[in-house]
Amino acid sequence: MECCIRPETPDDHMQVHELNRLAFGDEEEARLVEAVRRTPEHVPELSLVAESDGRIIGHVLFSPITIETADRPVATLSLAPVAVHPDFQRRGVGSALVRAGLEAARSLGRTSVIVLGHAEYYPRFGFVPARPRGIEPPLDVPDEAFMSIELVPGALAGVHGTVRYPAAYDAAF
């Protein structure tokens, strides 16, 4: 399967919406993507699609969030969602999107990423549990599902605080 990963364009929005709906079986993630796109903080270069034969078969979104510490907010990114069309799952599309997104984030000078996801999946990219680093989730989630990665070594050293998602996340759910 030949697949191209590239930044999402406005022409892709309808296909990305439908892809997220199919991949997750509901509208929540599709609404999240749309809500994040409408924010001034949205970074179009961090919304990537996987395309095969002119069809969008995967999508990943990285969006700005903060870790609220006692001293100041620390900028980071959220990785959510990662969607792959059901017909193309378990073929490496999601992994390719995550790797490309992490590299795009690094190239834009971003230093870390937070993910709430499968404990068996994300460590392959270098994600580790965030709580032992002193980073708390904003809601009650299993420790093993709440992870972080430093795109720049030491980026999260000494950062202790709670992750805060923007209002766009609340609006989607």
Pick from 24, 88, 76: which is nearest to 46 by CA?
Answer: 76
Question: At what angle are helices 13-24 and 28-37 packed, to 10 degrees?
Answer: 150
Beta bridge partners of 114: 78, 148
Where residue 117 falls (left for φ over 0; alpha for ψ -120 to 50; beta otherwise) is beta
In CATH terms, is domain 4-172 a member of 3.20.20.150? no
Pick from 85, 105, 119, 4: which is nearest to 50 by CA?
Answer: 4
Q: Which residues neighbour 8 within 8 Å (Cβ) at sequence distance 6 or greater?
A: 16, 44, 47, 48, 49, 59
The end-to-end CA distance of the chain, in Å, is 34
> What does each of the 173 residues of the chain score in pLDDT, given as a tens digit?
578 999 999 999 999 999 999 999 999 999 999 999 999 999 999 999 999 999 999 999 999 999 999 999 999 999 999 999 999 999 999 999 999 999 999 999 999 999 999 999 999 999 999 999 999 999 999 999 999 999 999 999 999 999 999 888 876 55
Residue 172 is predicted with a pLDDT of 54
Residue in the structure block whose two tokens are 């992870």 = 147
Residue 165 is predicted with a pLDDT of 93
* pTM for this prediction: 0.94
The Cα angle at residue 169 between residues 154 and 76, in degrees rounded to 5: 10
Per-domain residue ranges of the chain:
4-172
| CA 96 centroid distance within chain | 13
Residue in the structure block whose two tokens are 């870390």 = 112
Beta bridge partners of 42: none
Residue 19 is predicted with a pLDDT of 97
Work out the number of other CB atoms within 10 angstroms of the CB of residue 81. 17
Helix, strand, coil percent values for the chain (each to nearest 5): 35, 30, 30
